[in-house]
Structure 1
Amino acid sequence: MAKVPFTAGRVAGFKCPPDKKQAFLWDATSPGLGLRATPNGAPAYVFQGAYQDKYIRVTIGSPAVWSIPQAQAKARELARLIDEGTDPRTPKRDALAAAKAQEQERVAQVAQAARESLTVGAVWPLYLENGKPKRRDAWKPRYRADLEAMAAPGGEPKKRGQGITRPGPLYPLLALPLAAINEDALKSWHDREAIAGKHQAARALMMFRGFLRWCAGRPEYRGLTDRDAGKAAAIVENLPSTTRRTDALEAAQVPGWWAGVEQLNNRTASAYLRALLLTGARREELAALTWANVDFQWRKLTIADKVDSTRTIPLTPYLAQLLATLPRVGPFVFASTGKAGRITDARASHAQALQHAGIEHLTFHGLRRSFSLLGEASGAPAGAIAQVMGHKPSATAEGYRPRSVDALRPFLAQIEAHILALAGVQFVPQAEPGKLKVVTA
């Protein structure tokens, strides 16, 4: 290989012939130092030497960055490494690997910091969109609405009364990093919320446990989630007792309750409360009943169901007459002028009826429980009562046997007749719909 002393002019003027893939210019002053050029690429200083009986080449750098003396000094340094028995490619390779590892570590740290700063509020909407309860495909609309209300920021005008709404119990947790949700954080939050309402705080905690289970089940959040944080003894031992409610109408209370409901000025609420007792339906199921799902011809009701999407039950004679008296001012049977277009809260009306009857306490679910108990007292089979109420099929005293609507009809009519008899209502089943004829004793 021809060698020439490197000068600034020779280095700057060196070009690769267009008919060659690469060309070299070697320095006569520093053994192993060369300048490599390609037709299209920028030239670069290189070092070439024999290591373990093989020629190796190491790129030093661009002449725009390295001066000739610097390149010569680097070539002598690489020659010394070979003389010491070291592969001159190793330091550069190690430096590149170290730089790459350092960059990867930096990226990982940035990613970890971003993950650790991920807030509950950033993940909560994804939970509402993609989460689901146990053994179900999707949220029920009412539970989804409760989840949203629990995390609402508040500050909205109250629908009833003066002032604005307070934040939902879960709202303070939304600002916390998901990785910071541990036993101490949840206990501190729960203790504060329990001051405003211990039962509401307990329900919020149960909902948040579901959120933690969902996060723990997803790879992207699993490392940030303490799934058992809400089950810590320090929290659980302070939860209010979950005593099962047993409120229901006694047979002797039916006349007073019925009379109190009949005397309500709100006729829609009056019909709604009586329909709850006569069908055993859940309050939201019946409130959402539409005229399209009332079949007066074949005497059937199709209502939303908690277990299945809908269930169809017989439309009994008195209930048919009662519904026919309601005005048709929209799609809902129990219509309202409110935003929902249907009855949403009949607690005030029910409280008036209870006060009239001298009954201290009875929940809407107590009416559902009353239907079951009064149904048993009427002699209706337990399986028929369960099917009308929409209970999940289970082993009952008679063994659960699904019945057709027509097969259920005599049993539901039997229950209705028993309740009307207790209420002292004399009913004429043959009256035309819309012309309710009852005589209250």
Structure 2
Amino acid sequence: MARRKAGEPIDLTKPHSLTAGLISDLACPAGKQQAFLRDADCKGLRVRVTEAGAKSFVFESKVNGKTLRRTIGEATGNPPPWSIEAARIEANRLRVLVDRKQDPRELDKEAEREKVRRAAEAEAAQAAAAALAVTVGEVWPVYMEHGKPRKKAAWKPRYRSDLLKAASPGGEPLKRGKGVTKPGHLAALMPLTLASIDQDTIRDWYLSESNRAPIQAARAVAMFSGFLSWCATRREYRALVNKEAARASDLNDVLPASRSRTDALEAEQLAAWFAGIDKLRNRHAAAYLVALLLTGARREEMAGLRWADVDFQNRRMTIADKVEATRVIPLAPYLASLLASLPRVVLADGEQNPFVFASAVTQKGANKGRSRSASGRIAEPRAYHADVLTEAGLPHVSIHGLRRSFALMGEAAGVPAGAIAQVMGHRPSAVSEHYKPRPIGVLGEYLAKVETFILERAGIAFDAQAAMQRGLRVVSVA
């Protein structure tokens, strides 16, 4: 074959041995958008030239009956991105695939899908590793913000405070006395990862904490069980937790036996108890304890009573409630006169203390260290009640035992169980009770009956006028 002369047009109908000079002279025929120069030395390799003069190596063949045209790379430049030899190597590779009836385009798509899949797997593995590193301490603040009891809008303030205290690392200056606070029972769990918490972890942790305070440590187990149950409801934590890890039924061999408390005052002990109450110097604390006995209210419900919540004219008061936000209960005659006789305490800033049962910190001459509270209300009445029991020579009765005492006295006085439950703020115990709420007037009659029963058994002759003048004292003991 005669060599083409320089400047002579290239016959595109025939294959040519590609050279740099040939590619340089290649031009797109007039009137065409593109043209192809076939390589005589490599089957399927072409050089494409466009109307604009751009040149590139192209592989062209048929695969599965369809035309395949695949760009290899640019054929011009200084130096060119692809040499003729490199283009032939790539064209030969593609021809091998075509001979195997494999479409390079599909293979590239599959390779891209695999690349995406591997990237997703790597990202998922990284996310899983990060999730496994999440600690209890990192999730606990989220729990405190978004957690709540089942079917309730929010935790009660007292329980929320207990949760914060249980997770506290300690080290804070004591509010009273010298030294710092101790870590809460849950503090040791805070640095652990959620994924590492299992029954063995809980068991070992509890056995260590129970050396300090077994009952409080057992309560902390219940708190943490609630935390794990909440985590199990959250998409981001669900796979990380074993919500059964702190289940009490599986820790029975180490947890203290659950015993229902039955402590309460007996009718025969009421006279001595009231005599002990009369010896208390702190009138607000004394009135608070009597109010618990005469209403069956819970400790915090009565402690938070404000003067604005007491309606002396209509003989009723509004207190906090564990089931609902608040409840209205009658104000029986003796308790009404007792509250009315309490001195109104003025705070250091000159404002009147809004709480009925003021704390010792606001009262002149109060017993040192007793119920001092920054809130201005009684906070810790157990020491006062211990003094009453000691003075009366009675066995231990807890603050909650006064609530049980009210229920027992109400039953002995012949008051319907539903009325007692309504005053105490219990959920209805039966369907019939649910549909039989007593009006406040009727409830007041029942409560006055319980109050009279208690006063009679205590040997207290109640004179409303004298009580208003002299405040809390035993008028006469039979």
State the TM-score, normalized to the length of structure 2: 0.81
Q: Report the CA distance between 1:10 and its aligned residue.
A: 6.0
Task: Tell me, in whole angstroms, the C-alpha distance in 2 between the residues paired with 1:84 and 1:275.
Answer: 95
Q: 1:10 and 1:177, CA in 2 relative to 1: closer, same or farther beyond 3 A?
A: farther
Counterpart in the other structure of 2:376:
341
Verify the 8 A CA contact 2:58 2:71 in the aligned structure 1: yes
Q: Which has the larger displacement, 198-207 or 400-409?
A: 400-409
Partner of residue 373, structure 1? 408
Q: How many angstroms apart in 2 are the aligned matches of 1:342 and 1:43?
A: 91
Q: Shift of residue 76 of structure 1? A: 1.8
Change (3 A) 1:164 1:61: farther
Q: How far did residue 362 of structure 1 move?
A: 0.9
**Contact (CA 8 Å) 2:310, 2:318: kept in 1 or not?**
yes
1:409 aligns with 2:440: no
Instruction: Indicate how the Cα distance of structure 1 residues 135 and 93 shifts in structure 2: closer, same or farther if over 3 A, else same.
Output: closer
Letter in 2 for 1:363: S
Which whole-Å deviations, capped at 9, do the CAs of 1:149-193 have from their partners, x for residues lacking one? 211111112234432111111122121111111121111111111
Give the residue type in structure 1 aligned to 2:173: P
2:220 corresponds in structure 1 to 204
Aligned mates of 2:98, 2:471 — CA distance in 1 = 110
The more displaced of 249-258 and 279-288 is 249-258
Cα displacement string for residues 112-141 of structure 1 (whole angstroms, at most 9, x for unaligned residues): 111211222222222222222234333222
Cα distance change on mapping 1:369 and 1:232 into 2, 3 Å: closer
Aligned equivalents of 1:98 and 1:399: distance in 2?
Answer: 64
Contact 2:293–2:403 (CA under 8 A) maintained in structure 1:
yes
Give the drift of 1:390.
1.1
- How far apart in 1 are the matches of 2:334 and 2:440? 17
Deviation, 1:52, is: 2.8
- For residue 320 of structure 1, what is the amino acid of its counterpart? A
Equivalences for 1:172-191 in 2 at 5 Å? 172-191=188-207
- Whole-Å separation in 1 of the counterparts to 2:95 and 2:285: 99
CA contact (8 A) 2:291 2:335 kept: yes
Tell me if the contact between 2:287 and 2:472 (Cα under 8 Å) persists in the aligned partners.
Answer: no
- Whichever residue aligns with residue 179 of structure 1, its letter is A
Mapping for residues 427-438 of structure 1, pairs under 5 Å? 427-430=462-465, 433=468, 436=471
2:390 to 348, 351, 355: 355
| C-alpha deviation, 1:427, in angstroms | 2.1
Distance in 2 (alpha carbons) for counterparts of 1:128 and 1:39: 71
- Aligned residue type for 1:231: R
Q: Supply the AA of the counterpart residue of 2:344.
A: P
8 Å CA contact retained: 2:295, 2:406 = yes
CA distance in 2, matches of 1:343, 1:183: 40
Structure 1, gaps ≥5 residues long: none
TM-score, L = length of structure 1: 0.88
Alpha-carbon distance between aligned partners in 2 of 1:262 and 1:214, rounded to the nearest angstrom: 48
1:165 equivalent among 181, 205, 224: 181
Q: Which residue of 1 aligns with 2:62?
A: 50
Letter in 1 for 2:316: K
Matches of 1:379 and 1:282 in 2, distance apart? 22
Deviations 1:238-269 (A, max 9, x none): 11111111111122221222122222122211
Count how many residue pairs are aligned between Structure 1 and Structure 2.
437
1:45-84 CA deviation, whole Å, 9 max, x = no partner? 5432222332113344567865543233111211232234
| 1:260-275 aligned within 5 A | 260-275=276-291
Residue of structure 1 aligned with 2:112, choices 82, 96, 104:
96
Q: Which residue of 1 aligns with 2:329?
A: 313
- Distance in 1 (alpha carbons) for counterparts of 2:472 and 2:248: 60
Q: Distance in 1 between matches of 2:49 and 2:376?
A: 81
Distance 1:66 1:284 in 2: 85
Structure 1 pair 267–432 and aligned structure 2 pair: CA distance change class (3 A): closer
Distance 1:396 1:381, change over 3 A: farther
Other-structure match for 2:125: 109
What SS does structure 2 have at the residue aligned with 1:219?
Answer: coil
Q: Is the 8 A contact 1:300 1:315 kept in 2?
A: yes
Distance 2:468 2:50 in 1: 98
Stretch moving more, 153-162 or 237-246: 153-162
82-91 or 165-174: which moved more?
Answer: 82-91
- State how far apart, in whole Å, the 2-side matches of 1:323 and 1:126 are: 42
Matches within 5 A, 1:8-407: 26=37, 28=39, 30-33=42-45, 45-60=57-72, 66-231=82-247, 235-324=251-340, 325-328=342-345, 329-336=352-359, 337=361, 338-395=373-430, 401-407=436-442
Distance in 2 between residues matched to 1:66 and 1:299, nearest whole Å: 100
- Per mean C-alpha deviation after superposition, the further-off stretch among 309-318 and 324-333 is 324-333
CA distance change for structure 1 residues 259 and 10 in 2, over 3 Å: closer, same or farther? farther
Q: Percent identical across equivalent pairs?
A: 48
Maintained 8 Å contact 1:394/1:400: no
Question: Which digits, 9 at most, give the CA deviation of each residue in 1:277-299, with x for residues without a partner?
Answer: 11110000000111111001111
> Distance between the aligned counterparts of 2:21 and 2:175, measured in 1?
85
Corresponding residue of 2:348: none
Partner SS, residue 427 of structure 1: coil
The CA distance in 2 between the partners of 1:274 and 1:57, in whole Å, is 98
Q: Which moved more, 1:59-68 or 1:284-293?
A: 59-68
Deviation at 1:376, TM superposition (A): 2.1
Q: Which moved more, 1:44-53 or 1:255-264?
A: 44-53
The answer to whether the Cα contact below 8 Å between 2:278 and 2:472 also exists between their aligned partners in 1 is no
Aligned residues of 1:272 and 1:334 also touching (Cα < 8 A): yes
Cα separation, 2, equivalents of 1:75 and 1:217: 58
Taking the aligned partners of 2:114 and 2:449, their CA distance within structure 1 comes to: 85
Quick one: distance in 2 between partners of 1:339 and 1:295? 26
Q: Distance in 2 between matches of 1:316 and 1:169?
A: 42
Rounded Cα–Cα distance in structure 2 between residues aligned with 1:411 and 1:44 = 102
Preserved CA contact (<8 Å) 1:428 1:437: no
Larger Rg: 2
Structure 1 pair 174–105 and aligned structure 2 pair: CA distance change class (3 A): same
